[in-house]
Structure 1
């Protein structure tokens, strides 16, 4: 996703250089319109990058994103584990003393958090892809417009 956005940035740079270096029908107005499409393309690229980065790196803890729903799970969910058990000795001693029900509860909390995190990342990537598609369409239309304006000039 991020590489595709980088390619569109390069295409947007090519677009503006073509618009500024060519003799176009409509003169400055045409260049201004193409410049506006260039800005809009860059805005959608930036929004796409923002969504893609949000999918890779969470800006908030899963509890803040999805609510306090399940109780803390001491294991299988790093945020709860690190919050409650600061040293390896605490971690190892607590893990060895677990009963089956507590371990199952921790695993259930970890699974719940994982499912929700996956859904959140997937939604972020879908947003990024939609914004990338919009930027690509705008860029294609702008290039077609430049070609048409060159022919008319």
Structure 2
């Protein structure tokens, strides 16, 4: 119930709704750029992981070709464990980075069920394709939309892309963290091998 002296809320004008829609579109474009930037970084992580895998393979090849008695058994075991740990971390990093490029499920399924969110016609491709298989339905629904419907759908999509960007960025951070530990393990093994060869010359 409205209290005494409380003013009625002013109705949103058509121009105001269009301004809000333009602002929402700007945010959608911004988060699309952020997602594209995150995917580019994930590609760099995957490339770095491939190089590190090649380095592990080269070191393992040299380690297997070392003459018997060159290193003690426990040292060879340590080197092998280090290389295996580095390889496992690289694989885990690649899996996380691949999750940044493409998510397993569509955004509505991952972050909210269809009953929890209003429809996001046109703004969300999977939702549009799923609910409007025939062009006639697509056309009639598109023509029947008013500005408030479009604004709500835009906000639903904005909420989804914000959640999706955060989800992908966390995966990218985990991929980088694992790749960093893999690089450290590789460097320790490499330095250990070099030191072993130098001290036994």
Q: TM-score, normalised by structure 1?
A: 0.91
Aligned-CA RMSD value? 1.7
In 1, the alpha carbon distance for the partners of 2:119 and 2:70 equals 66
Question: Would you identify which runs of 4 or more consecutive aligned residues in structure 1 move more than 6 Å?
Answer: none
Greater CA radius of gyration, 1 or 2?
Answer: 2
Contact 1:52–1:124 under 8 Å retained in 2: yes
Which residue of the partner structure matches residue 101 of structure 2? 56
Query: How far apart, CA to CA, are the structure 2 residues paired with 1:92 and 1:111?
Result: 23
- Give the alignment's TM-score, normalised by structure 2: 0.70
Q: What is the aligned residue count?
A: 153
Q: Structure 1, unaligned stretches of length 5 or more?
A: none
Residue 99 of structure 1 pairs with residue 146 of structure 2: yes
Partner of 2:117: 70
Deviation by residue 1:13-64 (Cα, 9 ceiling, x = unmatched):
1111222223575422222211111111111001000001111111123233
Q: CA deviation at 1:11?
A: 0.5
Q: Is the 8 A contact 1:72 1:106 kept in 2?
A: yes
- CA shift, 1:126, in A, is 1.1
Q: Which residue of 2 aligns with 1:110?
A: 157
2:79 is matched with which residue?
A: 34
Gaps in structure 2 of 5+ consecutive residues: 1-44
